[in-house]
Amino acid sequence: MQVRPLSVGLMVPVNNTTMQPELLAWLPEGSSCHRVGIPRGKEMLSPATLPAYLAQSEALAKDFADDDIDMVVYGCTAAGLMAGPARDARIAVDLAAVTRKPVITTASAMGAVLNNLGARNIALVTPYLDAVNERLLAFFEPSGIKVDVLSSFQAETVDELAAITQDEIAARARDVMRPGIDAVFIACSQLPTHAILLDLERELGVPVWSSIRATAWQAMHTAEMV
């Protein structure tokens, strides 16, 4: 797929310093990214804090209304997963109305890329607590994607999340691999994965994708359609 360099407006939790550089690494050379950080506390996002977080997101999205960008990326993986597919789609519509730009969400990109791969039985690595992991499984269900194996770091705070290394992630990816697995997916746009995914694909013999890689793939497909 040949796509020109893209100019992207990125919305992520304020503590997420991983997605911007890794998204640019997956996008065509020469792409640019204007990042807006959404304020949040030290605790992991939860169903109870989700409504206030979404309200902040919509208010901050106005920063992109006058920007000369191709699209807005809502990179808040946990927020999209907890919202569920219908609400996540509505988030994209609401942000598009505010920004007057095409909007893609990381949560929807995850399902889209797995469907494109034809993956139906996957192994999943996440940093999340059970409340989000359960929503993640439910998010995939309408697409017919079954999570055969799930391994979670169970990070309780954003500091614990930020401390997870790419070597630890790679070890988890190897550990969840089983016969019959169509793909390995590493969920969360804060986890560093760009340097390990292609090597893991060669080693494991199946596609290995991350939230950030999926978002870049969806952004490039969106650019072809607009």
Same domain, 217 and 137: no
Same domain, 83 and 115: no
Same domain, 104 and 150: no
Same domain, 205 and 130: yes
The pLDDT, as a whole number, for residue 178 is: 95
The pLDDT, as a whole number, for residue 87 is: 85
Which residues neighbour 141 within 8 Å (Cβ) at sequence distance 6 or greater? Answer: none
Domain count, the chain: 2
| CATH number, domain with residue 161 | 3.40.50.12500
Same domain, 15 and 77: yes
Cα separation, 213 vs 22, in Å, equals 8
Same domain, 162 and 99: no
Report whether 158 contacts 15 (CB < 8 A). Answer: yes
Same domain, 65 and 45: yes
Tell whether 1 is covered by a domain. no
Same domain, 98 and 14: yes
The pLDDT, as a whole number, for residue 112 is: 94
What is the pTM (predicted TM-score) of this model? 0.92
Per run of 10 residues, the mean pLDDT along the chain (length 226 residues) is 86 92 97 90 69 78 88 87 84 91 94 95 95 89 92 94 97 97 96 98 98 97 78
The pLDDT, as a whole number, for residue 220 is: 95
Cα separation, 46 vs 107, in Å, equals 16
Domain assignment of residue 120, given as a range? 109-210
If one counts every other C-beta atom within 10 angstroms of the C-beta of residue 81, the result is 29
Same domain, 100 and 11: yes
Helix ranges, the chain (H): 19-26, 50-61, 77-83, 85-99, 106-117, 130-140, 158-162, 166-176, 197-204, 211-225
Residue 47: its H or E element: none
Same domain, 198 and 221: no
Same domain, 92 and 140: no
Same domain, 113 and 204: yes
The pLDDT, as a whole number, for residue 46 is: 67
Tell whether 2 is covered by a domain. no
